[in-house]
């Protein structure tokens, strides 16, 4: 299965922070465990303990999960994951002035509307607490600690920024690991905690959700089923095969997970979010919702309007679209071609061959139509793979083929993240010169199964399988259409965007079989208006060149919400505002989260600080 590109997950792999720096504290052993007492605290609904490799939520069939979990508390603070030191030159090893990563879980009803279904979901939760962990002795009695600059050492901040990375299928716990400190800095000058959760059916949350026993089996079938339309002489025959496989996959899902398949809809996740708010102990939600996460936030805001605090929605969906058959797919395509043409290729040409290798293809040609020529030459190389895939080889993976469909998927993924553009341009340039080495490595990343990486402990779910179920549950009451209708849609979508049309189509096509296997309770979807009067306005950020959530979404949403929203039109590249940073967007976001300042204007225009190909990343 081509990874992630089909869904709206914001890829967080390039975050400024890596797990490595979190373990630097392990060299310090000055603190004795008794300083911090025993965790989890008895009244903590999240059961938080300092994260270690063992903090994976207890199994659902564990009859005494609290005891199991308490035994996972490791009292040695040198094993915990501390944040970066607020004053690096004062790194005296006592962990003061360091934030800490806390791991826990929250048990919630699997079905909010059934009295007979008593099963639960156990959501994995991770929190970055900026003030560190409270010691048993109060800071005032410990003269060596200077904690005056902190709100209150070791306790929760006045507001907690809840993060939701999107997908469907993105892991909120991973989002915390990869960017909590950055998010806290960005929106609160490092003053607010950041909390993320794995939504039901995602990553470490339980029960696990996967239609295949193993990722390798999903990959095996994807070789035939995920061929793009351009590569097939007979699209309808290709579609019939994919349709049969979708039917088989949902049948297998039903076998493996039963009615859990209908209990992952966006409205259900919105109810989970309100339970998380209660568990945090705050009156209203403060949060940063990205991509499909904005769909959760829009649904939440209209279901729980009095609980809306300070919620930023970045890279906006327009959830009304998701009620339509195929709407999750075809409404994403507006600006993909602009992002490729004006963005990737246009900025490449503008930057020149020193910063963008691909510009080499038109160098020295004094030609007012250079951009058109560049586009023609690059697309010709890509299209040539339809008839003639290229052989490739690398030491690690052995022989392989550079084929059209996964290469186009890799290009679509790159449009999400401008920071990938220099490397992607290098890869395409070398491909144009007949060197397939970098392309082979790029394609290797598309597989779900990597024989060299051991599976993540505690991860039993698959984000692609979960995404299909969420998307289909949200449009369960759309009409059933014959294959010919879908063939028409496939044709329309790939005509509108050769880069994104295929993968977006594959997101929605399985929905043809959803109602065969699951019967929705209409209460599990939100079908109301989006203009409910909210306690506080939402802050929407939409990007002019977003390849996944076009600006049109943000405009329609802001229009419908009226006084209940403010919109930042972020004139940048990439999916969401975090890749092509604008001081203007940052300032408004911080004022809103930290101070509750709402822009007076309904719409503010912001421009990014830099260009994607400057400086060249080596």
Ligand X SMILES: *[C@@H]1O[C@H](CO)[C@@H](O)[C@H](O)[C@H]1NC(C)=O
**Any contact of residue 444 with ligand X (CB under 6 A)?**
no
Question: Which residue among 109, 168, 550, 608 contacts ligand X (CB under 6 A)?
Answer: 550
Q: Which stretch binds ligand X (CB under 6 A): 87-95, 110-118, 255-263, 381-389?
A: 87-95
Q: Which stretch binds ligand X (CB under 6 A): 26-34, 294-302, 350-358, 548-556?
A: 548-556
Question: Which residue among 437, 522, 605, 614 contacts ligand X (CB under 6 A)?
Answer: 437
**Any contact of residue 247 with ligand X (CB under 6 A)?**
yes
- Of 38 and 437, nearer to ligand X (C-beta) is 437
Q: Which stretch binds ligand X (CB under 6 A): 270-278, 331-339, 350-358, 467-475?
A: 331-339
Q: Which stretch binds ligand X (CB under 6 A): 166-174, 275-283, 286-294, 413-421?
A: 166-174
Q: Quick one: which of 580, 583, 562 has its CA closest to 571? A: 580
Q: C-beta of 89: minimal distance to ligand X in Å? A: 5
DSSP strands (E only) in 277-413: 285-290, 308-314, 390-394, 398-402
Give residues with Cβ within 8 angstroms of 362, minimum separation 6.
349, 370, 373, 374, 377
- Of 403 and 542, nearer to ligand X (C-beta) is 542
Q: How far apart are CA 537 and CA 309, in angstroms?
A: 8
**Any contact of residue 24 with ligand X (CB under 6 A)?**
no
Give the β-pairing of 390-394 and 308-314: unpaired
Q: How far apart are CA 282 and CA 307, in angstroms?
A: 9
Question: Which residue among 210, 265, 335, 403 contacts ligand X (CB under 6 A)?
Answer: 335
CA angle 104, 108, 114 (to 5 degrees): 170
Residue 502: HSE in the Cβ half-sphere, 13 Å Cα cutoff? 25
SS3 494: helix
Q: What is the per-residue binding string for ligand X in 99-138, x denoting contact by CB under 6 A?
A: ---------------------------x------------
The answer to whether 467 and 507 are in contact (CB under 8 A) is yes
Using CB under 6 A, count the residues that bind ligand X. 35
Question: Which residue among 22, 133, 204, 408 contacts ligand X (CB under 6 A)?
Answer: 204
Q: How far apart are CA 587 and CA 608, in angstroms?
A: 12
- CA distances 72 to 58, 108, 273, Å, are 10, 21, 26
Within 10 A of 220 (CB to CB), how many other CB atoms are there? Answer: 13
**Any contact of residue 531 with ligand X (CB under 6 A)?**
yes
Q: Which stretch binds ligand X (CB under 6 A): 86-94, 153-161, 445-453, 609-617?
A: 86-94
- Beta-bridged to residue 105, according to DSSP, are 124
Q: How far apart are CA 347 and CA 345, in angstroms?
A: 6
Q: How far apart are CA 223 and CA 355, in angstroms?
A: 35
Q: C-beta of 516: minimal distance to ligand X in Å? A: 6
What backbone phi and psi angles, to 5 degrees, belong to 43? Answer: -105, 15
Q: C-beta of 347: minimal distance to ligand X in Å? A: 13
Q: Which stretch binds ligand X (CB under 6 A): 171-179, 233-241, 271-279, 590-598?
A: 171-179
**Any contact of residue 435 with ligand X (CB under 6 A)?**
yes
**Any contact of residue 430 with ligand X (CB under 6 A)?**
yes
Q: Quick one: which of 579, 586, 550, 178 has its CA closest to 417? A: 579
**Any contact of residue 456 with ligand X (CB under 6 A)?**
yes
Q: Which stretch binds ligand X (CB under 6 A): 185-193, 273-281, 333-341, 601-609?
A: 333-341
**Any contact of residue 338 with ligand X (CB under 6 A)?**
yes
Give residues with Cβ within 8 angstroms of 411, minimum separation 6.
340, 382, 424, 428, 499
Residues binding ligand X (CB under 6 A): 87, 89-90, 126, 171, 173-174, 177, 203-204, 247, 334-335, 338, 430, 435, 437-438, 456, 459, 485, 488-489, 492, 513, 516, 529, 531-533, 544-545, 550-552
């Amino acid at each position: 299965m081509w990874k992630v590109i089909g869904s709206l997950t914001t890829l967080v792999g390039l975050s400024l922070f890596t797990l490595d720096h979190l373990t630097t504290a392990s060299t310090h052993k000055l603190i004795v465990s008794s300083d911090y007492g025993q965790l989890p605290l008895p009244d903590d609904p999240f059961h938080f303990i300092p994260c270690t490799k063992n903090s994976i939520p207890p199994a659902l069939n564990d009859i005494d999960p609290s005891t199991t979990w308490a035994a996972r508390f490791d009292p040695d603070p040198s094993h915990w994951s501390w944040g970066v030191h607020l004053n690096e030159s004062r790194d005296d090893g006592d962990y003061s002035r360091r934030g800490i990563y806390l791991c826990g879980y929250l048990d919630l009803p699997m079905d909010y509307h059934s009295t007979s279904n008593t099963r639960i979901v156990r959501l994995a939760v991770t929190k970055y607490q900026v003030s560190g962990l409270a010691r048993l002795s109060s800071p005032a009695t410990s003269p060596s600690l200077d904690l005056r600059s902190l709100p209150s050492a070791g306790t929760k901040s006045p507001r907690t920024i809840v993060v939701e990375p999107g997908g469907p299928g993105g892991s909120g716990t991973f989002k915390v690991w990869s960017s909590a400190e950055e998010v806290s800095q960005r929106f609160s000058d490092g003053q607010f905690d950041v909390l993320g959760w794995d939504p039901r059916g995602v990553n470490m949350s339980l029960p696990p959700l996967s239609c295949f026993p193993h990722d390798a089996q999903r990959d095996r079938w994807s070789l035939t089923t995920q061929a793009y339309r351009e590569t097939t002489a007979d699209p309808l025959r290709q579609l019939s095969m994919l349709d049969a496989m979708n039917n088989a996959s949902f049948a297998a899902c039903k076998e493996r997970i039963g009615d859990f398949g209908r209990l992952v809809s966006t409205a259900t996740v919105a109810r989970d979010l309100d339970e998380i708010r209660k568990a945090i102990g705050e009156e209203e939600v403060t949060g940063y919702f990205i991509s499909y996460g904005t769909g959760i936030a829009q649904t939440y805001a209209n279901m729980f309007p009095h609980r809306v605090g300070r919620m930023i929605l970045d890279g906006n969906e327009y959830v009304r679209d998701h009620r339509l058959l195929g709407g999750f797919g075809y409404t994403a395509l507006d600006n993909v071609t602009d992002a490729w043409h004006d963005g990737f290729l246009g900025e490449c040409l503008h930057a020149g061959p020193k910063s963008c290798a691909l510009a080499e293809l038109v160098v020295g040609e004094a030609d007012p139509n250079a951009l058109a020529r560049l586009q023609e030459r690059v697309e010709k190389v890509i299209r040539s793979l339809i008839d003639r895939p290229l052989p490739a080889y690398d030491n690690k993976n052995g022989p392989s083929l550079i084929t059209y469909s996964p290469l186009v998927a890799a290009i679509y993924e790159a449009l999400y993240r401008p920071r990938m553009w220099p490397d992607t341009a290098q890869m395409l340039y070398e491909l144009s010169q007949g060197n397939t080495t970098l392309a082979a490595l790029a394609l290797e990343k598309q597989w779900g199964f990597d024989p060299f990486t051991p599976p993540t402990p505690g991860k039993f779910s698959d984000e692609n399988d979960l995404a299909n179920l969420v998307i289909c549950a949200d449009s369960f009451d759309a009409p059933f259409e014959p294959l010919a209708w879908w063939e028409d849609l496939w044709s329309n979508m790939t005509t509108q965007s050769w880069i994104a049309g295929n993968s977006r189509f594959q997101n929605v096509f399985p929905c043809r079989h959803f109602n065969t296997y699951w019967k929705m309770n209409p209460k599990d979807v939100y079908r109301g208006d989006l203009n409910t009067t909210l306690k506080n306005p939402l802050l929407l950020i939409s990007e002019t060149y977003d390849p996944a959530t076009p600006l049109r979404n943000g405009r329609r949403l802001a229009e419908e919400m009226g006084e209940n929203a403010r919109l930042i039109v972020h004139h940048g590249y990439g999916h969401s505002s975090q890749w092509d940073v604008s001081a203007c967007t940052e300032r408004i976001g911080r004022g809103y989260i930290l101070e509750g300042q709402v822009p007076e204007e309904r719409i503010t225009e912001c421009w990014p600080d830099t260009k994607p190909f400057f400086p060249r990343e080596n």
